[in-house]
């Protein structure tokens, strides 16, 4: 990862990574981090137990990968997601 992230950006990436419907592609689009870089960030920023829980949750989850998602889902975020300014 070439870019230094602010604490606010790191928090947002973690939040997006936990969201079921937010793809790794959306994170890459917004922050320039590839899936492996998101995994490394999560490992670095979270407690080990929380990281393991997250990895177990997202591994193999089709909603985290745009190519595996249903074709009728076109948005990056849930309608219920709060706006961050």
Asked if residue 19 is part of any domain, the answer here is yes
CA 13 vs. chain centroid, Å, equals 6
- How large is the average pLDDT for residues 14-25? 91
Asked if residue 72 is part of any domain, the answer here is no
* pTM higher than 0.85: no
Q: What is the pLDDT of residues 37-47, one digit of tens each?
A: 999 999 999 99
Give me the percent of the chain exceeding a pLDDT of 90: 55
pLDDT of 83 above 90: no
Count CB neighbours of 54 within 10 A.
17
Asked if residue 84 is part of any domain, the answer here is no
Range of the domain at 25: 7-63
pLDDT at 16: 95
Q: How many structural domains comprise the chain?
A: 1
Cβ atoms 2, 38 nearer than 8 A = no
- How large is the average pLDDT for residues 32-58? 94
In degrees and rounded to multiples of 5, residue 19 shows phi and psi of -70, 130
Cβ atoms 72, 63 nearer than 8 A = no
Asked if residue 23 is part of any domain, the answer here is yes
Asked if residue 71 is part of any domain, the answer here is no
Burial class from Cβ neighbours inside 10 Å (0-12, 13-18, 19+) for residue 68 reads exposed
């Amino acid at each position: 990862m070439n870019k230094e992230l602010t604490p606010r950006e790191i928090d947002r990436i973690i939040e997006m990574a936990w969201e079921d419907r937010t793809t790794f592609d959306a994170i890459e689009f917004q922050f320039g981090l590839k899936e492996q870089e998101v995994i490394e960030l999560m490992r670095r920023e979270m407690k080990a137990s929380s990281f393991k829980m997250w990895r177990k949750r997202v591994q193999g989850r089709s909603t985290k990968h745009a190519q595996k998602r249903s074709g009728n889902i076109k948005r990056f975020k849930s309608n219920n997601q709060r706006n961050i300014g």
